[in-house]
Each structure stands twice: as C-alpha cells, then as structure tokens.
Amino acid sequence: MPRARKRPAGAARPDKKGPGGKRTKTEDPGEASAKVENSSLQETSASRDCGKNLSSYWLMKSEPESRLERGVDVKFSIEDLRAQPKQTACWDGVRNYQARNFLRAMKLEEEAFFYHSNCREPGIAGLMKIVKEAYPDHTQFEKNNPHYDPSSKEDNPKWSMVDVQFVRMMKRFIPLAELKTHHQAHRATGGPLKNMALFTRQRLSVQPLTREEFDFILSLEEKEPS
C-alpha cells in the first residue's frame, strides 16, 4: 500500500518511480466527476467565471475519514494538518477548473475554513491561512497518484495548489445541518448566508466566502447549536 503521508509544503516532487503521494484534498463525490476528458469546455467556462479574485475568505473541503482511491487513502483531516511539520501542507488534488481558479486567486495570509466533507458529520472544523500562493500541483504528473492527469504537461501544467497552515480549531464544530438551517432562513430574510456557495455551488471543494458570510460563521462559535 502506498505511504499514507502528506508531502511537506513546497517540497520538490519525488522520483516518479516512488510510491504515489497521499491525496489530501478531494472533490465532493459530484465534483470528482468533473472529468479531465471534458477539460477544454470546463476550462473555458470556468475561466470566465473565476478569473478574478472576488474574495479574501474561503471554504476548503477535505475528507477526514479513510477512503481508498486507486489504492491510496485520501483521508486528510484538520488534525492531520495540525500534525504536519510547521502545521503546513500543500492543498493538492483539486481537479475541477472552477475550484482550481479559486486556488489561483488566493493571496498570502487569506483565511479559509477547513471543512470536513464526505463523512458521517460534515461541517466546519477549524481555520487555516494561505502561506504560499498557487503553484503547479505535483500529483498531476505522478503516475501512481490517483489524481494523475496524463493530459497535463510539465511545461504547461493544468492544475495548481496552494500551501495552507493550521490556525486553530473552531471553538465548536459547526455542522452542515446547522449552516443549512441558517441558509434557508436567510434566503427568506436576506441574511448573510442567503447565497452561500456551500449550498449554491455545493459540488466545489474550494469556495469563496464574503466577509459577511465569514463573520457570521465565526459568530456561531459563541452560540449554542440551533
């Protein structure tokens, strides 16, 4: 079984003959279906939508429970991030053009919620920050990696990643069900979560947040679960 470990952020890509690196971030089951073979059409439309940085706050999804993909465990939780050297890791494995463009839009020190996805209780587990802006994702070139993309070339890579650093755990876990309750209420009242991408573009593993959305979610930490 390949080594289930995270590559240190910014590390050079190993010899291609070595075992594939662990994939740490996954698209939601629907997002993973953004097939590489349909890449040209997706890239054209996504580039129009996401070419500009319209956000300084983000929500980024990862799977906290073990799941094998082509023999590689794709599990990576916020606890795994906290355990990394310098509590820092590269956010690799994104294979959706819109999500990739959001990665490319990120700037140093911007904050992101670490969202546990595709698990028994999905929701926001903690905070991290961007510590290295977008650069080529090494996993697209690694034949043993579940996210290898044979159509991507080293002189013109399709896929990017950023480095993130653990900031803190949430004071309490904010479950998806609670966020959905607020989203539905805010759709009627005009509250800050009325257009939250978690519900309007739910398949994306990397999503922008407005300042109002970010601040409202932080405020939930101090409140009893609804």
**Which residue ranges make up each domain of the chain?**
57-220
Q: Render pLDDT for 150-206 as a digit per residue (tens, 0 to 9).
A: 999 999 999 999 999 999 999 999 999 999 999 999 999 999 999 999 999 999 999
Q: Which two tokens stand for residue 177?
A: 């069900």
pLDDT tens profile 111-161: 999 999 999 999 999 999 999 999 999 999 999 999 999 999 999 999 999
For 144-166, give one letter per residue: b (16+ CB within 10 A) or e: bbbbbbeebeeeeebbbbbbbbb
Q: Provide the pLDDT for residue 76.
A: 98
DSSP E strand stretches across the chain: 57-62, 68-69, 72-73, 88-90, 111-116, 123-136, 160-175, 206-209
Looking at residue 25, its pLDDT comes to: 54
pLDDT of residue 225: 84
Q: Which CATH architecture has domain 57-220?
A: Roll (3.10)
Which pLDDT score, from 0 to 100, does residue 136 have?
98
